[in-house]
């Protein structure tokens, strides 16, 4: 009779990778993350999960609203960009909601773009960084008065609106990728810090969100 080798638990092969990811999530204080192609359905599902989580933490309605509006603006911009560039439809986007040492929410998103598009966007973000809240307000109103056809979609207004909500200037950087396409792709990341309380960590594996606002708290009877 030939001795058979002991069966190996197939889940053990996954444990090291999952544990390593868990350690990264804990170290970076990541509350929510998603990595994959961005669709309207995914945006809706993750957004609903994020809203429920924040409401469960009894966050203020203004904090929930700010986090949502920034998150939605980032992800909708990614979705619209992919719609305009079908060759990038299968490229993944990375989305994170975390918190920093001061308890602020930090929303980060990155996706593959054409290098000229990424460079132009970084320039626009850097131009907003030194502006005061009042200057951002005036810039937003001035942008609203521009003819619709000159706005190139809502990205301009959206960037200014995110900068107005943020407690710190927006940050963006480009990372060049392979050059085997008709354009030079890159990864664009943008981070926004918003006021908020410290929160326990949780991970949504799956899907996304839409522009939902938390209901205003009802007055006590």
Q: What pTM did the predictor assign?
A: 0.73
Provide the pLDDT confidence category of residue 201 given band limits of 50, 70 and 90: very low
CB 175 within 8 A of CB 187: yes
**For residue 1, what is the DSSP state?**
-
Report the pLDDT averaged over residues 181-201.
46
Distance CA 207, CA 44 (A): 8
Question: What pLDDT score does 122 carry?
Answer: 85
Q: What are the boundaries of each domain within the chain?
A: 30-194
Strand order in 171-176's β-sheet? 30-36, 93-99, 105-114, 185-194, 171-176
Class of domain 30-194: alpha beta
Question: What pLDDT score does 99 carry?
Answer: 80
Q: What is the mean pLDDT of the chain?
A: 74
Q: Which helix (H) or strand (E) holds 172?
A: strand 171-176
Report the pLDDT averaged over residues 7-15.
55
Say yes or no to pLDDT of 35 above 80. Answer: yes
Instruction: Collapse the DSSP code of 80 into the 3-class scheme (helix H, G, I; strand E, B; otherwise coil) and give the result.
Output: helix
**For residue 72, what is the DSSP state?**
H
- Convert the pLDDT of each residue in 36-94 to its tens digit: 888 899 899 999 988 888 888 777 888 888 888 889 988 998 899 889 988 888 888 88
CB 55 within 8 A of CB 200: no
- Convert the pLDDT of each residue in 96-134 to its tens digit: 888 877 778 888 888 888 888 888 888 888 999 899 999
Provide the pLDDT confidence category of residue 139 given band limits of 50, 70 and 90: very high
50-58 contacts: CB < 8 A, separation 24 or more?
50/97, 50/204, 50/209, 51/209, 51/212, 51/214, 53/199, 53/202, 54/199, 54/214, 55/214, 57/197, 57/199, 57/200
Say yes or no to pLDDT of 9 above 50. Answer: yes
CB 167 within 8 A of CB 181: no
**For residue 220, what is the DSSP state?**
P
Closest CA to 119 of 175, 58, 193: 175
């Amino acid at each position: 009779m030939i001795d058979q080798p002991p069966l190996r638990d197939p889940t053990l092969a996954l444990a090291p990778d999952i544990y390593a990811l868990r350690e990264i999530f804990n170290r970076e204080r990541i509350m929510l993350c998603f990595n994959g192609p961005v669709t309207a359905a995914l945006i809706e599902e993750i957004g609903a999960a994020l809203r429920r989580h924040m409401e469960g933490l009894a966050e203020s309605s203004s904090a929930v609203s700010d986090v949502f509006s920034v998150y939605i603006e980032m992800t909708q911009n990614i979705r619209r960009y992919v719609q305009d560039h079908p060759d990038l439809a299968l490229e993944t986007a990375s989305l994170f909601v975390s918190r920093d040492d001061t308890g602020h929410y930090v929303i980060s998103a990155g996706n593959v773009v054409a290098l000229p598009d990424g460079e132009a966007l970084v320039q626009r973000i850097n131009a907003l960084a030194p502006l005061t809240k009042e200057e951002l307000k005036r810039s937003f109103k001035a942008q609203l008065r521009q003819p619709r056809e000159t706005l190139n979609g809502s990205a301009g207004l959206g960037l200014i609106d995110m900068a107005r909500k943020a407690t710190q200037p927006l940050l963006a950087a480009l990372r060049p990728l392979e050059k085997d396409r008709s354009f030079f792709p890159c990864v664009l990341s943008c981070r926004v810090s918003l006021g908020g309380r410290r929160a326990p960590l949780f991970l949504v594996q799956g899907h996304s969100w839409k522009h939902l606002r938390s209901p205003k708290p009802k007055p006590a009877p």
